Amino acid sequence: MFERYYSFRFIIIVSLLWLMALAYGLSYYSTDIYHDLAVESQKTAIEELVRLKSIDLLKELQETQKVLGYRLRQENVFKDNFYKKNKAGLSAWLAQSYNRYFITTGLLTVESLLVKDADLQLVAFANKANNNQPYDGCSVIDNAITASASAEKLKSKSALCLYQGLLYSEVAVPIGSFSANGYLYIIVEVANGLKKLEADLNMPIRFLLPDGSEGYRSTTWLDTKNEESTISSYTVESFDGLPGLQVAVQFDLSVLDKKIEEIQTRFLLITSLVTWLTFLLVMFLLNKAYLPLDRLKNSAGLLLRGEYKIIADNSLPNELKAPVQAFNKMLIGLRAESEKRSQVESHLKKERDFISATLDSISNAVIVIGLDKRIQFVNPAAEKILSIDEGDLVGYPFEQVVVCYARRDMGEVVDIQRMFELCQQPEACDKTIFVYDSEQQVIELEFSSTLMRGDNKALGYLLILKDVTEDRKLRRQLSFNAYHDRLTGLLNRRAFEESFEKLIVENPSEQQEHIIAYMDLDQFKVVNDTCGHAAGDLLLKQLTVILKPMVRKSDVIARLGGDEFGLILPFCSLEKAQKVMQSIIREVVEYRFVWDEKVFSIGVSIGVAQFGSEADTLAAQMSAVDTACYLAKQAGGNQVHFYKKDDAEVLAHQGAMDWVAGINKGLSENRFVLYIQPIQCVNSKDKTKHYEVLIRYLDDSGMVIPPGAFLPAAERYNLIERIDLFVVRSIIEWLTENSKAYPNIMFSINLSGRSLGSNEFQTFIEQLIKDSEIDTSALCFEITETAIVSDVLRSIEFIKSLKALGAKFSLDDFGSGLSSFAYLKQFPVDYLKIDGMFVKDIMTTPEDYVFVRSMAEVGHCLGMKVIAEFVESKKMYHLLREAKVDYVQGWAVGKPEPLSTLLEVSSD
């Protein structure tokens, strides 16, 4: 019972209903009491009324009796008869009076009239007609008269007496005014006198006689004693206190009841009204009182939805303030908690999303395998890589779903336990397995697995699979590409170098002899230039096919550059190598390359070196074979040059390398000095003074070094361009300064093949010429046949563009190449300088003279002037004039002199 909770409303409604019931009950009860009390009081009041009224009536009766007595005694007939003591006359008169007053008064019924003398002896009396017995009531009046003094005797006396069961009112008046000569008694029945009560009270009355019999009853008296009436009574007592006559008044209660009922109704109405008003007021106030509770409820409801509504507590009553404040405190606490939690949650969610996104976006398959070898988690990449849906993976034993093979040929199955074991050491954990995909294609997977631990407990394995199928394929390809030449399929330079290192490393201590060779094709450029690169490529491919079978399988043959090939012959003697090289040269020379109905033959120069000890570094060996190859080429091509450490040629060549620093130094420190050698016109027709510009180097000791010492080095190490530029610039400067003094002068400047092939050099020269105001016809550029041949088209472009500016061109060393007669007509040169080799022996060798003469003829045919160099004697001069040479150059004409001497000479 007490564990049940009741709401305030319930309690208050119950209390109110209880109070209402109480009020109703009370009002009922009180109205009942009131009713009873009212009836009681009414009864009492009426009793009092009856008493008073009765007493009044009695007094009135007695007064009436007295007055009647006075009237009777002052009648002269009475006086006469009384004083004459005429008893008979008195009796007759009395009877007469009795009858008269008995009828007339109405109010009182005279019972009897008595006349007594002063001694109270009955003198006469009057009664009802049939009664001859004188009234003989109580003697109280007689006694009173007897006891009273003289004056007192004159006063009338009255008494109520019971006589023969009836109550009578007796009044005695004295006969005589100043002395009582006798007394006249008027006896009246009380009941009759009190009948007036009925009219006065307007209520039914009833008299009960002392013997209990009913003396009188109103006609309206209700006989049955019912609830609607009540009786009030008053007993008129006789003089001696005996009950004489009971006067009862019956009064109607219905009116009272009605009145009371009316009151009761009104009372109940008011009660209920007040109760209901109270109820409403209480409910209203209760609702008001509930408001904070409702707010609490609402707030609690909102709390479920995650809203925190603080309830204002400043206007709350004290008993609610505490819980509301506590609630608010709780709310604030909860909110703080929730904020913290939501922060943590959002943080966690972010983290989880991040991890999930990370896992999702990992392209590697991430698989979590429990200790029971069942799959617990897979990421989307895993589904994709394994081509299995997540639903078919999670929960199943890994081995049942995925079969892993150890080899590409799917020979050996790897069980999962082994995969885990393989990853015991992290560094060793880069293993590859193979699986079939949904289309039975082999997929190569790299995997790693980690034992996941949490709280010092193994949780499972994290298996990461990476699809490396494409990757590995590409890598293999790349690896091949990295070590092979794309065009020929031979090893490339890198592979070549690595092979060399490997050979050294793998055979360290033994004094083994290995052979390294460097092959450079001759005339490859010709094919490339005339037929294009496709032809060159084809040539290289075909050569590869030739070369490959010529070496052992263990030998290394590699394409090192454009037309350069390398060979490593491990454990090979020098003799054997020589044989191999010779056969290679033979094969290459015999080989014919056909393109567009053109037939080309090529040559090859080979540099060979022997190595074996660790001291032989790759760089040194490469340098050695390179040099050897160069020397072989210098020697005319299609040759093998064996490198020896004390090789004089090699040493000289290597000395050239020392020149690199010297040239750089010379250029920066202006150590180069220009010399000029005159070129004389044979016919003397040409007024122009013609000089070839030469270059010398001043070493630290002031020695003049001839160009043969440093130009090959400059040519080989790409410094020749700078030297050419230096020369051109110097001459232009000289011309700028001195052109006025020397109006008809022409300088022939040697240009290297490299400079000829350089676009920058061309634009630079052009700019120099344009910037200066010199007569461009004073400039003649000498270019060698080989220089042009290295890049014919480029050279022609160069020549044409400078010729357009007014410069002249001269083809130097004509005849040395011999292969280039075909090009000659293409070259728009102005001069043809016959190679000195033909000129110097012209005196002794008639063939040379023929050569020179025919060359001069060819030159003339092509509209060129022909120059002969190396003219050392007058005889030669004349012979050359016969051979129709236009210009001569040599000691016979003039030795090379410094450029500065020109000015000195002229000033002399």
Partner 1 sequence: MSTFKVRRLKTNKHRLIIASVIGLCFLFTMCWPAVVLSAPKAIVKQVTGAVTIDAEGLIELYQSVKNLIIIDSRITEDRAMGYIEHSLSLADIDTNCKTLKALIPTLESTAAFYCNGPKCGRSMMATKMAVQCGYKNLYWFRGGFEEWKQKDFPYVIK
Which residues in this chain contact partner 1 in the complex, by CB under 8 A? Answer: 67, 70-71, 73-74, 150-151, 154-156, 173-174, 176-179
CB of 58 to partner 1, least distance (A): 16
| Cβ atoms of residues 695 and 672 within 8 Å | yes
CB of 251 to partner 1, least distance (A): 36
User: Which DSSP letter does residue 356 get?
Assistant: H
CB of 165 to partner 1, least distance (A): 30
| Cβ atoms of residues 172 and 32 within 8 Å | no
CB of 179 to partner 1, least distance (A): 6
CB of 74 to partner 1, least distance (A): 6
CB of 109 to partner 1, least distance (A): 22
- Distance between CA atoms of 408 and 163, rounded to whole angstroms? 161
- From 869, 884, 756, select the one nearest 812 (Cα to Cα): 869
Nearer to partner 1, 139 or 177 (CB): 177
CB of 60 to partner 1, least distance (A): 16
| Phi and psi at residue 97, to the nearest 5° | -65, -40
Nearer to partner 1, 120 or 834 (CB): 120
Nearer to partner 1, 176 or 323 (CB): 176
CB of 82 to partner 1, least distance (A): 14
Q: Measured at the alpha carbon of residue 219, what is the angle toward residues 218 and 221, in degrees to the nearest 5?
A: 65
Nearer to partner 1, 153 or 853 (CB): 153
Nearer to partner 1, 173 or 381 (CB): 173
- Distance between CA atoms of 235 and 243, rounded to whole angstroms? 6
| Phi and psi at residue 476, to the nearest 5° | -60, -45
User: What token pair was written down for 152?
Assistant: 């007192």
Nearer to partner 1, 35 or 66 (CB): 66
Nearer to partner 1, 154 or 283 (CB): 154
User: What token pair was written down for 329?
Assistant: 């405190």
- Exposure pattern of 253-277 as b/e (b: 16+ CB <10 Å)? beebbeebeeebeebbeebeeebee
Length of the chain measured in residues: 908
CB of 232 to partner 1, least distance (A): 32
> If residue 173 lies in a helix (H) or strand (E), which one and from where to where?
strand 166-175
Nearer to partner 1, 48 or 152 (CB): 152
User: Which DSSP letter does residue 311 get?
Assistant: P
Nearer to partner 1, 66 or 633 (CB): 66
Burial class for 185, CB neighbours closer than 10 Å (0-12, 13-18, 19+): buried
Nearer to partner 1, 67 or 892 (CB): 67
| Cβ atoms of residues 650 and 616 within 8 Å | no
- Distance between CA atoms of 408 and 412, rounded to whole angstroms? 9
For 268, half-sphere exposure in the C-beta direction (CA atoms, 13 angstrom radius) is: 13
- Helices 493-506, 469-483: axis angle to 10 degrees equals 80
The set of residues, in sequence order, having a beta carbon less than 8 Å from that of 895 and lying 6+ positions away, is 677
The set of residues, in sequence order, having a beta carbon less than 8 Å from that of 232 and lying 6+ positions away, is 43, 44, 46, 47, 49, 50, 248, 249, 251
CB of 234 to partner 1, least distance (A): 26
Nearer to partner 1, 179 or 363 (CB): 179
- Distance between CA atoms of 67 and 55, rounded to whole angstroms? 18
End-to-end CA distance of the chain, in Å? 150
Nearer to partner 1, 38 or 175 (CB): 175
Nearer to partner 1, 70 or 420 (CB): 70
Strands (E) across 511-642 are located at 514-522, 556-559, 564-569, 592-595, 598-601, 603-611, 640-642
The set of residues, in sequence order, having a beta carbon less than 8 Å from that of 34 and lying 6+ positions away, is 260, 263, 264
CB of 152 to partner 1, least distance (A): 9
CB of 62 to partner 1, least distance (A): 11
- From 192, 54, 165, select the one nearest 110 (Cα to Cα): 192
CB of 164 to partner 1, least distance (A): 29
CB of 321 to partner 1, least distance (A): 51
CB of 141 to partner 1, least distance (A): 14
Helix, strand, coil % in the chain, rounded to nearest 5 = 50, 25, 25
CB of 71 to partner 1, least distance (A): 6
CB of 245 to partner 1, least distance (A): 25
- Distance between CA atoms of 375 and 151, rounded to whole angstroms? 149
Nearer to partner 1, 181 or 816 (CB): 181
- Distance between CA atoms of 522 and 889, rounded to whole angstroms? 32
Nearer to partner 1, 174 or 662 (CB): 174
- From 379, 400, 396, 391, select the one nearest 466 (Cα to Cα): 379
- Distance between CA atoms of 499 and 551, rounded to whole angstroms? 15
User: What token pair was written down for 900?
Assistant: 């500065």
CB of 79 to partner 1, least distance (A): 11
| Phi and psi at residue 360, to the nearest 5° | -65, -35
Q: Tokens 């609690």 sit at which residue?
A: 300
Nearer to partner 1, 155 or 225 (CB): 155
- From 874, 877, 828, 873, select the one nearest 852 (Cα to Cα): 877
- Distance between CA atoms of 895 and 675, rounded to whole angstroms? 10
Nearer to partner 1, 176 or 898 (CB): 176
- Distance between CA atoms of 581 and 571, rounded to whole angstroms? 15
Provide the β-strand partners of residue 116: 122, 183
Nearer to partner 1, 64 or 755 (CB): 64
